[in-house]
Amino acid sequence: MTKRYGFTLVELLVVIAIIGILVGLLLPAVQAAREAARRMQCSNNLKQLGLAALNYESAYKKMPPNHIWARQNGNNVANNANVEAWGWNVLLMPFMEQTNLYNQLRVSQMSLADLLAGITVAERKAMLEQDIATFRCPSDAAEAQAKSARHWNGGWGARAGGHNRWESGLTNYITNRGTRNQRQLVNDTHGMFMEMRSIKLGDITDGTSNTFSIGERDSRWGRAGTWPGVRNPNGSGMRGIYMNTATVRPPLNSTQPPYTWSSNTVGAGAGFSSLHTGGAQFVYVDGSVHFVTQNIDSRPDSLGGCNVWDITVCQAVYGAYERLGRRNDALVVTHQE
């Protein structure tokens, strides 16, 4: 009789168990390696944006405004309520190998509101809905556009200033507005990017290596940002300016009430956040990129009693995180990783 050789059932089960254990041991390492690669790409994106902002400053002798209502020719123009405004992402395009799209959008010839008057043209919709890799963190797997069912009520996810439906392209990188959400030109939030106002490097008395320029926002709470710009800049809530900027008032990566997602905390009120474990990445004004831990000293609850124009009052209440968001309060803090 010929003997047949093979595994017994017990041996087969043992082999399967060993393979399962090995997969269980290796999978976290593979996932960690992939996240490390995504985080590196995210850092590179921020580096490009930081350098583009500095190149803009070299060309115009001032940093870009957060958004503008009219033509972009290096000069700010008068305030105009309730219209769409080009955002800082668009203004940086000529300095980051996106000159073709910048020219197609005709940023130097017309305002965003003027462009949207012809939004029925499919080509223009497609341009504004583009998913631009440099504006997206690879760790955030959200949809590429602002969807009306999951995004701003009456905002760009549903309509655009009364024009036909379109869905704005998103960005995971938003500007540092400082410690307050104020709109208009009346008050200074001590941040780096304001509407219709450009900050000069000489205004950054705390130092360019000690001040946030641009940081991350993932799509969990604030629903990321909108790279074409903002809608109804003088409005409030989800229709206001807070689609491409943030304050350092909420704690970094906060998921605690009242900072969880709601109609009152989208945009600037949602602050900075990321899907990287333990913190988020920022590019500072000098162009350096740093990972900031979510455990950084932050005192958001005390900000309500701090007059942002009285430095002596604020010295006692701001944490390191808030100080990094302010460019000129004499409360110098170096980056903390």
- Is 335 inside a domain boundary? no
- C-beta of residue 53 within 8 angstroms of C-beta of residue 213: yes
- Is 106 inside a domain boundary? yes
Residue of 87, 94, 92 whose CA lies nearest to 67: 87
- Is 202 inside a domain boundary? yes
Task: Report d(CA 48, CA 44) in Å as an integer.
Answer: 6
- Is 23 inside a domain boundary? yes
- Is 28 inside a domain boundary? yes
- Is 260 inside a domain boundary? yes
- Is 2 inside a domain boundary? no
Q: Which of 56-65, 67-76, 139-148, 151-160 has the highest mean pLDDT?
A: 56-65
Number of domains making up the chain = 1
Domain around 317: 13-324
- pLDDT at residue 273 greater than cutoff 60: yes
Q: What is the pLDDT of residue 118?
A: 62
Q: What is the pLDDT of residue 148?
A: 46
Task: Report d(CA 88, CA 62) in Å as an integer.
Answer: 13
Buried b (16+ CB within 10 A) or exposed e, 55-68: ebbeebebbbbbbb
Task: Report d(CA 100, CA 210) in Å as an integer.
Answer: 34
- Is 329 inside a domain boundary? no
Q: What is the pLDDT of residue 239?
A: 45
pTM of the model as a whole = 0.79
Q: What is the pLDDT of residue 5?
A: 65
How high is the mean pLDDT of the chain? 75
**Banded model confidence at residue 311, pLDDT cuts 50, 70, 90:** low
Provide CB contacts within 8 A for 284, sequence distance 6+.
50, 208, 209, 210, 211, 212, 213, 290, 335
Q: Compute the chain's Rg from CA coordinates.
A: 23
Other beta carbons within 10 angstroms of residue 151's beta carbon come to: 23
**Banded model confidence at residue 230, pLDDT cuts 50, 70, 90:** confident
- pLDDT at residue 243 greater than cutoff 90: no
Q: What is the pLDDT of residue 221?
A: 55
Q: What is the pLDDT of residue 52?
A: 96
Task: Report d(CA 59, CA 198) in Å as an integer.
Answer: 13
Of the listed ranges 17-21, 186-190, 208-212, 224-228, the one predicted with least confidence: 186-190
pLDDT tens track for 12-61:
788 888 888 888 877 777 777 788 889 999 999 999 999 999 999 999 99
Cis peptide before 258 (omega within 30 of 0): yes
Is pLDDT larger for residue 248 or for residue 110? Answer: 248
pLDDT tens track for 78-103:
455 556 788 899 999 999 989 999 98
Q: What is the pLDDT of residue 175?
A: 92
